[in-house]
Structure 1
Amino acid sequence: MGQKYLVCQGAICKCDFGSATDTLKVLTQNKHYINDQEGKTKLTATHKDIGKTFEKNSFGSCAKMNNNPCQALITEWSGFYKNITLAYNGGGKALLEDSKATCPIGGKDCIKIIKHGQTVEISKQNLKNTSSTKIHIMNSLLNIDELMDELDEQELDAY
C-alpha cells in the first residue's frame, strides 16, 4: 500500500451524481493545521466534518434529483485514518485522500475526494533537510548554496 495524504481544508470533492466539484471547509475545529507553514488556512479534516461542510454546499445539478440543484449534506465519512485522533473536536479521526462521504440522496460513499488540499511549500527548513547533490541532479541550474545564502540575508534584513 502506498503512502496516502491527509486531507485538509481546501480539498476538492465530487459527488458521483453531481455535475460540479465543491471545496471542503473544516468547521469542527480551528487548532490543528497541516501543510501550512503559517498555520492559518489548512485545517486538518476529520470524520467529524459532517453536515453542510462545503463552500457552496452544492455539486451542481444532481442526477438523483432529476438534475435539480444539489444540496450537499454529509451524514458520515468512511475510510478515515484511525491512528490519528484530534481530541480538540471530540475525537475526530483524520480523513485520507481516499476517504468517502455519504449523502442521504446519493447514498453510501457517493462523495469522493479528488484533491486532498495539500500543496508543496518550499521553506528554508525544507532546503536545509535536502541534499544539495540531489537538487543539483534534478535541477542543475539551481545553486542551493546561493539560495541558502540569499535566504539568510533576507532573514537578517528582516531584523
Structure 2
Amino acid sequence: MKKYTVQKGDSLNSIAQQFGVKDGQTLRSYHNIYCPLEDLLGHEPVPGKELLIPEDLKYLKEEEEVTDPMNGYDDEAETTEESSEEQQEESQEEKKEDKKKEQQSESGSSEHDGKYFVVQKGMCQCNQGFKLPKFKVTSHQKHYWNDADGKADYLAVTEDDTQLDPTAQPFGQCKLKPSSGGYLPCAYAPVGKWTKTYEKVKIMDKSCVTEVSELMCSTGGKITIFKHGQQSEAGKSQASDANTKEQQVYNPVMDFDEFKEETNDTDQLYYS
C-alpha cells in the first residue's frame, strides 16, 4: 500500500481519481480496514492526515473503465463517445449524399447541351433595344473557337466580355426611355458579368458564354445571344467556284448562274 498526505481541497473522490482507485467509498473502506483506530476516516478526509492508498488490483478501476468523482462511472464520457460515433455516421451519410448529388448532376442534362460557344463576331440583342451589336473580346487574346488561323472574329467570349461593338449606343434606341420625339438613345451599362455561362469550360479562369447566357443592363434591359457567330460562310469566291450543274441538282428550282451574277455585284456574306 501507499501513503498519501491529504491536502487542502482534497476529497475522497478526487484522491481516488488521482490514484486510480475505483471510487471514494472504496478508498475509505480500504483505509479504515488497515489504519489504526485513531486514524479512522469519516465522511471526508482531514488535511494533514495520512491516507492509505491500495495497490491491490481488486480496489483499482480496470483500464477500460472511466471513473467520475461521484460513482466510479463516467456517464458523460460514454455519452460523448456515443455522440462522436453518431456524428461520424452522419458525416459519412452526408458525404454519400453529396457524392450521389454530384453524380446525378454530372449525368443529368444541362441547359448548355447542344448549344454553341459564342465568338466575337456573334451578335446579341436587348429586349428593350432595336439593333444587334457584335461582341468585343477584351478578357484575353488566346483562345479561338473552331478557327486554326486565330482570326479575331473567332475569339471566345467569356463572362468578363461585356463590351460591345459599337461601344456607343450599341442597341440604338431604348424602349424604356420614351419621349415626345421617340425613344431616347441606348445608354448601355452592363450590371456585373454574363450569367448562365458554362462553368465546365474556362479560359484564364473565366467561364465561357454560350447561346443561353444572359446579361442585364442597369437601365432594365435583358441582353441575350442573337447569333453565336460560328456559322460557316459563303462569299463571292465560293459562289463563283461552285459547279453550276452540281448546285442545280441540289436546288433545281434555283437558277445558279443568275445567282452567281448577283453575288458578284454584292459584298454580302451568306450564312448557312
TM-score range, shorter chain: 0.5 to 0.7
Larger radius of gyration: 2
- Flag the 1:121–1:69 CA change in 2: closer, same or farther, 3 A: closer
Query: Which residue of the partner structure matches residue 199 of structure 2?
Result: 82
| Residues 1:55 and 2:171 aligned together | no
Determine helix, strand or coil for the equivalent of 2:165. coil
- Partner in structure 2 of residue 46 of structure 1: 158
User: 1:92-131 alignment to 2 at 5 Å?
Assistant: 92-107=206-221, 110-120=222-232
Work out whether residues 11 and 117 of structure 1, in 8 Å CA contact, stay in contact via their aligned partners in 2: yes
User: How far apart, in 1, do the equivalents of 2:150 and 2:206 lie?
Assistant: 19
Conserved? CA contact 2:135–2:161, under 8 Å: no
Deviation digits for residues 59-88 of structure 1, max 9, x if unmatched? 01101122111022322211100001112x
The CA RMSD measured in Å over matched residues stands at 2.1
In the other structure, the counterpart of 2:186 is 70
Tell me the CA shift for residue 121 of structure 1.
Answer: 7.0
Deviations 1:91-136 (A, max 9, x none): 21000111111110025xx0011100112279xxxxxxxxxxxxxx
> Which has the larger share of helix?
2
For structure 1, which runs of at least 5 residues remain unmatched after alignment? 123-138, 140-159
Amino acid at match of 1:78: T
Stretches (4+) displaced over 3 A: none
Q: Give CA deviations for 1:6-52 in whole Å, capped at 9, x if unaligned.
A: 011011111000011111111111011112231122110011113xx
Partners in 2 of 1:74 and 1:84 — Cα distance? 23
- Alignment partners' CA distance in 2, 1:37 and 1:64: 42
Name the SS of the counterpart of 1:5 in structure 2.
coil
Instruction: Give 1:48's aligned amino acid.
Output: D
**Equivalent position of 1:129 in the other structure:** none
Q: Which has the higher contact order (CA 8 A, sep 6+)?
A: 1
Q: What amino acid maps onto 1:24 in structure 2?
A: F
* Whole-angstrom CA distance in 2 between matches of 1:6 and 1:19: 24
**8 Å contact from structure 2 (residues 116, 210) kept in 1:** yes
TM-score norm. by structure 1 comes to 0.67
1:121 and 1:82 map into 2 onto residues whose CA distance is 29
3-state SS of paired residue (1:64)? strand
Q: Are 1:35 and 1:119, in contact at CA under 8 Å, matched by a contact in 2?
A: no
1:71 to 1:35, Cα distance in 2 relative to 1, 3 A:
farther
Aligned residue identity for 1:54: L
